[in-house]
Amino acid sequence: MNAKINKIQSNTPLIGTIVTLNNPQITEMLSSAGFDWLMIDMEHSTLTIGEVQCLLQSMHPDCISIVRIPGNDPVWIKRVLETGCDGIMVPLVNSEDEARVAVDAAKYPSDGSRSFGVSRAHGYGARFDSYINSANQETVVLIQVEHIKAVNYIEQILSVKGIGGIFVGPYDLSGSLNRIGNISDEEVQKAIDIVKACC
């Protein structure tokens, strides 16, 4: 298993930041500055998939690369993983079934239904066999909990094999509790504590 995945699974705090700008120098500098991970955001930015791949190509190889996809869609999951990122973040997952969709689309058979293609992730064919043989173990699937529905079903969501981590979206969560933007509100913090405790 590669060193980046060992780092993710080490249970130690990792520090990172979110990238929304199409500037490879930014990702090059941030990934070389000591951050453990960068999350390139396609959900709340104008970044295209081609621009995302260029940003990934500029990153230091030791920095974990996560791409937040626009939605829980198998086509987006497949296309983004083919850019060669280390994993994906899937927004607004509110149920066990939705979590299964995400994991299934990110994993090759027999663990999932991801289709096969030759792309940057596979070294344009040069590393096809090694990538296929390791991708299911080394591709990180992060699930976003950002609605009270997800909090209510967090134990079921966490039961889905293949989830690599949970990312709480406090602002959307506050909106789902009719406390939009007030992330310090007692009810919002209580919901976040529930997720943390279950994780």
The structural domains of the chain, with segments of one domain joined by +, span: 3-198
Average pLDDT, the chain: 95
For residue 146, the model assigns a pLDDT of 97
| Between 80 and 4, the higher pLDDT residue | 80
Q: How far apart are CA 64 and CA 62, in angstroms?
A: 7
Would you state the structure tokens that stand for residue 72, as one six-digit string? 């829980």
Catalytic choice (44, 60, 122, 147)? 44
For residue 81, the model assigns a pLDDT of 98
The CATH code of the domain at 3-198 is 3.20.20.60
For residue 6, the model assigns a pLDDT of 79
Beta bridge partners, 38, equal 17, 65
Q: Is 44 tagged catalytic? A: yes
Q: Give the CA distances from residue 106 to residues 19, 23, 26, 48, 127, in Å, rounded to whole numbers and listed in that order.
A: 22, 27, 27, 20, 18
Q: Give the CA distances from residue 15 to residues 18, 164, 186, in Å, rounded to whole numbers and listed in that order.
A: 11, 16, 26
Is residue 168 helix, strand or coil? strand
For residue 5, the model assigns a pLDDT of 73
User: Per-residue pLDDT averaged across 22-42, rounded?
Assistant: 97
pLDDT interval class at 12 (50, 70, 90): confident
> pLDDT tens, 104-136?
999 999 999 999 989 999 999 999 999 999 999
| Between 151 and 12, the higher pLDDT residue | 151
Torsion, Cα 147 149 150 151, to 10 degrees, reads 90
pLDDT interval class at 79 (50, 70, 90): very high
Q: Whose CA is closest to 161, among 115, 111, 199?
A: 111
Which secondary-structure segment (H or E) carries 99?
Answer: helix 96-106
Would you state the structure tokens that stand for residue 169, as one six-digit string? 């979206």
pLDDT at 1 over 70: no
| pLDDT above 70: percentage of residues in the chain | 99
pLDDT at 2 over 80: no
Q: Whose CA is closest to 143, among 122, 117, 169, 118?
A: 169
